[in-house]
Structure 1
Amino acid sequence: MSRVLVIGYVWPEPTSSAAGTRMMQLLKFFRNDGYEVLFSTTTRETENKADLDSIGIRTEKIKLNDPEFDKLLEEFQPDMVLFDRFMMEEQFGWRVDNMCPKAIKILDTEDLHFLRKAREIAYKKNEKAEKIYFNSDLTKREIAAIYRCDLSLIISEAEMKLLLSEFRIPKEILLYLPYLIENISESEYKDLPDFEERNDFISIGNFLHEPNWNAVLYIKEKIWPQIRKKLPEAKMQIYGAYATEKVYNLHDEKSGFIVNGQAEDSSEVMQKARICLAPIRFGAGLKGKLIEAMQNGTPSVTTSIGAEGINSELSWNGFIADSENEFIARAVELYSEKNLWRQKQITGFEIINSRFSKEQFESNLKSRLEEIKNNIVAHRRMNFTGEMLKHHLHKSTYFMSRFIEEKNRNRN
């Protein structure tokens, strides 16, 4: 049985974040394909973490700059190592190369962190993101990690295009792999609540993620007061994990702005809502909340950044609006017009079925991994830049790690 070691940035929390959902999809792919899977992470366990034992996945707590990780590699002998975000490759990649040089190294970027950060800075400074990310240390770090791996999984076509055209990364070390979703049948979507059975607007998202907090604040201050004037009976339902006091302080029964905290069942609350609002002004990757809205038959209004990478040439399952006034007008229109709402709902199902086919993209991943496994020497020879970056990282990281290990040993 082949073995895959996953080095997680955090414990997967599919009920809290899209990143958690993505990680669970990858873990289940490997399990269903017959791999023995070991999930490891440096972070503490959380109440919301997935029960990996129940799906046959062993877990291990690991530490940074600790030789015990080398022993884990020696004992487990993985055929593949999956790094959850580039920071994990920076910390542990050199140890994998030293202990298991034949193991295929896979990087799941989740989204391009340098792009998300550059867009946030650009938004706040009113500058172009390109000017920021080309001069960013974060960009250099993430791109270097991509080169050092045998394959990087890219969740958005827009990000694939950026890496191929702007950064000239070889296509052989990249694979477009969006969310892996089962097709929705006509009978399934006909069982969902209809227009008259739904009320209110919904916004949902993990509040540890800055774009989500920014969007909710924007709804509260700019979007919702105008919608409420036109739809005085409607409410704005806010859901999200890790809501802090500043989030709950937005709660206002009088204005119909309801902060609920984390939803026990996100599909249930999404199906009760008539419209999902996501005025996302910066970010990267695919917005899980909007895909989940489509799965649950909930049309949405979002921005160009919110929709990026999801619908391609297809119509949106609602509206894409980047100006404040248009966003408000479209939200009211979609909430009020039954026929339009039903038409947009069907469009959402079409997007899911044509753009996120679990069967198709799992097949693509399996084929690419087999191809790399059978031609690993030639594959790595083609990527000389990656081998060169490994050499320099290993020299610097090795000595720094050994220095920290010695300090920790003396302290104990």
Structure 2
Amino acid sequence: MSMSLADARYFLNRMIGLLRRSLASLRTRGWQATWQRIRVHTRTLPAPRSAALYLPEALPFAPFSVPHSVEPRVSIVIPVYNHVGHTLACLRALAAHPPQVACEILVVDDGSIDQTVQWMPQVQGLRYEVRASNGGFIDACNDGVARSRGTYVVLLNNDTVPQPGWLDALLETFSTVPGAGLVGAQLLYPDGRLQESGGVLFQDGSAWSYGRFESPEDPRYSALRDVDYCSGAAVMLPRALWDQLGGFDTRYRPAYYEDTDLAFAVRASGHRVLVQPASRVVHDEGTSNGTDTQSGVKAYQVRNRGVFAAKWAAVLAQHPAVGSVPSPALLHRHQRQVLILDEVVPQPDRDSGSLRQYNLIRMLIEAGAHVVFVPTRREHAGAPTEALQRLGVEVWYAPFLEGIGPWLREHGPRFAVVMMVRHHVASECLPLLRSYAPAARRVFDTVDLHYLRERRGAELAGDAGLLRNAQRTRTRELAVMAASDVTVLVSDAERTQLQVDAPDVHVELISNLHEVAGGGAPWDQRRDLVFVGGFRHPPNVDAMHWFIGEVFARIRAQLPDIRFHCIGADVPQALHDLAAGQPGVLIHGFVPVVTGYMDEVRIAVAPLRFGAGVKGKVNLSMAHGQPVVATTCAVEGMHLRDGEDVLVADDADAFADGVVRLYRDEALWQRLSAAGLRNVADHFSLDAARETVRRVFLE
């Protein structure tokens, strides 16, 4: 495909932006760190790799045991009729990788005449239930569920091999997705190709297995999604809902379309039907009844399509016409589709900007929007990417994302809103959006005013070259704002600044977004000091050099047993060297879960001497009832008052005195703890931002 003018401009802008940021990085980070950042941006991306499929070896039968609980939360119902080899493979997979949740496994024998009747009683922990006579798949499932004891029930074909973690991923969906009623697994062929990631129904009742024969890692099929139906080969639903709906409709006896009918009934009852690709199950399609719809039980598939179409005619009238090709645009046609463009996917356990973005995405999904995330670096980030997919975010990456321009050319028209994160991403992508998504509202998320942060850092360093760079950043950042429909800021202080620098820009405020966690441990059970912040952010590096080098010794002179916990990824060696000569300083580096430090350490410090935006480290501590001693820069635009919500000091002696005073004064500590919790609830919680999010993205 030839390169358009918009594509060429994107490539040129991207290369120029990378060169500019590299030159600035040389001044602030040095050549080694800069070279590493250049390599990240220019390296060839490997194809994403999923774990190899688990397929148990076909060994001669010998007794073994399967997971079993006398008080199961989940009942796995496996209807069988002969094909004992498949049943053994299924049970061996369940035994090899037992679920975390308490479960029971029922094999419901619908009249087998092979070795099923000899071998199943020898499987320890298995509930082997034999039906009085053969009645077919529907009757076997209804009978099996009636005998189950779990709060949730899973229907699992015997010709499946569940993959590790499959059951827990299904169950987790019910606790994380409001209104979930039926959740199905992603089905794979034994060779690893995708068999189905949910199903699509057309107006005549015919079906399309979405993603059939494609890669299961394709972004179109890898995210949690509402679907028309899920194959009954591996589905979970609450037992109470199954009973309410009466189980499988017996008009479809002996089999076929009963699972599709159940999905429609679940949705008609006000619940959602979803596919969870994090749950992977290998399915040897056609084992029981073959694939020939002209004869045998399989012929009921043709007959039952007519039965189904007549029963659900009014609903099916709203479905796509026969001949439509399912695509993300078609499947999400009833939702407002929002595209987010950023360099990488958010990692909310590493920085406050990522946490804000992650919580914004959660809010959009909860409001009914379909969110698509495209990282311009085209990287699959592993666990952070999978976390978004579990939320229901359609995340694109190489090799399926060949380039931003070609992707927007294909997908751009489906978006109502496009949010560009950070000015260099926006300046690169704006020409493409004008060409390929002309109807979309263009939202520019500054994260913070980069030119303001750069200018303050240059002034602190007394570096005229950095000051000139900051002025160039200002020019580019304001140009992006002028070309965008809405500019999103994080603080009132920045909004005030823009009233002077760019009064005509349409500005909205969406600050840091935090859950209010609560008070944590009381004052007398807390010890020490803590700082949390990633060290790819120059203001954090400077803050720690100042605090460890000039402030902490003053504190320790008055509190000789106190320790300081420094937490954050990518700690530079110079900071390790500085800390090595300071008793009581503990450099922890990256800590995946910092909750313990928020709930058990007495005071957080935020000694930032330059920066911009709102400081997530301050919000995070206050959301846990942990008081903060901070500089004026660190609390800028955060609605905080010195002595009432926070203690503020800007020189080493005053900062140390504030820490010692707060550390010793329980009454002051209690007052600041309560005030911090109120501040987060009033200004930095998800509820505080809902109206602005609705106005910017959903109207």
- What is the TM-score normalised by the length of structure 2? 0.49
2:497 aligned residue:
162
Aligned AA for 1:181? H
Counterpart-to-counterpart distance in 1, 2:350 and 2:469 = 32
Deviations 1:8-43 (A, max 9, x none): 122201010011111102211221121211111133
- One-letter code aligned to 2:657: A
What SS does structure 2 have at the residue aligned with 1:193?
A: coil
Corresponding residue to 2:543 among 215, 232, 246: 215
**Residue 145 of structure 1 pairs with residue 480 of structure 2:** yes
106, 118, 126: which is aligned to 2:455?
118
Shift of 1:286: 0.5
Paired position in structure 2 for 1:13:
347
**CA distance change for structure 1 residues 216 and 3 in 2, over 3 Å: closer, same or farther?**
same
**Uncovered stretches (5+) of structure 1, i.e. residues with no partner:** 372-412
Match of 2:659 in 1: 331
Aligned to 2:690, the other structure's residue is in SS state helix
Instruction: Determine which of 505, 516, 530 is the counterpart of 1:202.
Output: 530
- C-alpha change, 1:30 and 1:238, in structure 2 (3 Å) is same
Report the counterpart of residue 25 of structure 1 in structure 2: 359
Is 1:80 aligned to residue 417 of structure 2?
yes
Aligned AA (1:143): L
Distance 2:492 2:537 in 1: 22
Q: 1:180 aligns with which of 509, 513, 531?
A: 513
CA contact (8 A) 2:644 2:671 kept: no
Aligned to 1:35: 369
Post-superposition shift, 1:46?
Answer: 4.2
Instruction: Provide the residue aligned with 1:296 in structure 2.
Output: 624
Q: Provide the rounded CA distance (Å) in 1 between the counterparts of 2:546 and 2:642.
A: 27
Distance 1:5 1:323 in 2: 44
Greater relative contact order (Cα 8 A, min sep 6): structure 1 or 2? Answer: 1
Count the aligned residue pairs: 360
Could you list the per-position Cα deviations for residues 83-104 of structure 1 after superposition, in whole angstroms to 9, with x for gaps in the alignment?
1111111111110110111011
- Residue type matched to 1:53 in 2? Q
Change beyond 3 A, Cα 1:71–1:227: closer
Per the alignment, in what secondary structure is the counterpart of residue 420 of structure 2? Answer: strand
Instruction: Tell me the CA shift for residue 368 of structure 1.
Output: 4.1
Contact 2:554 2:653 in 1 (8 A): no
Contact 1:155 1:179 in 2 (8 A): yes
Task: Tell me the alpha carbon deviations over residues 340-398 of structure 1, each in whole angstroms, 9 at most, x when there is no partner.
Answer: 11111111112112222422321122134455xxxxxxxxxxxxxxxxxxxxxxxxxxx
Q: Shift in Å at residue 168 of structure 1?
A: 1.9
Residues 11-410 of structure 1 correspond to what in structure 2 (within 5 A)? Answer: 11-43=345-377, 44-46=379-381, 49=384, 51-61=387-397, 69-75=405-411, 77-125=414-462, 132=467, 136-170=471-505, 173-182=506-515, 188-189=518-519, 192-252=520-580, 255-312=583-640, 316-369=644-697
Code of the residue aligned with 2:513 in structure 1: it is L
Whole-Å separation in 1 of the counterparts to 2:514 and 2:698: 22
- In 1, Cα distance between the equivalents of 2:559 and 2:541? 24
Q: Sequence identity, in percent?
A: 24
The worse-fitting range, judged by mean Cα deviation, of 41-50 and 345-354 is 41-50
| Shift in CA distance, 233/314, structure 1 to aligned 2, threshold 3 Å | closer
The whole-number CA distance in structure 2 between the counterparts of 1:143 and 1:23 is 22
The amino acid that maps onto 1:39 is F
Cα 1:80–1:217 change in 2 (3 A) is same
Per-residue CA distance 1:230-289 (angstroms, 9 max, x = gap): 111110111001223333333438711110111221222122211111110000000100
- The CA distance in 2 between the partners of 1:265 and 1:8, in whole Å, is 24
Structure 2: 5+ residue stretches without partners: 1-334
8 Å CA contact 1:316–1:348 kept in 2: the answer is no
1:134 Cα deviation from its structure 2 partner: 11
Distance 2:640 2:584 in 1: 35
Change (3 A) 1:239 1:265: same
SS in 2 for 1:61: coil
Instruction: Read off the aligned partner of 2:591 and give its amino acid letter.
Output: A
Amino acid at match of 2:389: D
CA distance in 2, matches of 1:108, 1:368: 11
Is the 2:621–2:627 contact (alpha carbons within 8 Å) kept by the matching residues of 1?
yes
Q: 1:70 to 1:79 in 2, by over 3 A?
A: farther
Q: Distance in 2 between matches of 1:262 and 1:32?
A: 30
- Quote how far apart the aligned CAs of 1:140 are: 0.6
- The alpha-carbon deviation at position 194 of structure 1 amounts to 0.6
Deviations 1:108-163 (A, max 9, x none): 11000000000000111189x9xx58981100100110111111111010000100
Are the structure 2 counterparts of residues 330 and 48 from structure 1 closer, same or farther at C-alpha, using a change threshold of 3 Å?
farther
In 1, distance between residues paired with 2:593 and 2:677?
Answer: 20
SS of the residue aligned with 2:406?
helix
Displacement of 1:182 in angstroms is: 4.3
Q: Provide TM-score, normalisation by structure 1.
A: 0.81
Counterpart amino acid of 1:70?
P
Asked if the contact 2:380/2:398 (under 8 Å) is kept, the reply is no
Q: Distance in 1 between matches of 2:430 and 2:446?
A: 14
The 3-state SS of whatever aligns with 1:237 is strand
CA pair 135-255 structure 1, distance change in 2 beyond 3 A: closer
Provide closer, same or farther for how the CA distance between residues 210 and 92 of structure 1 changes in structure 2, counting only shifts above 3 A: same
Provide the aligned C-alpha RMSD in A.
2.5
CA distance in 2, matches of 1:67, 1:307: 40
CA distance in 1, matches of 2:441, 2:513: 22
Cα separation, partners in 2 of 1:367 and 1:208, compared to 1, 3 Å: same
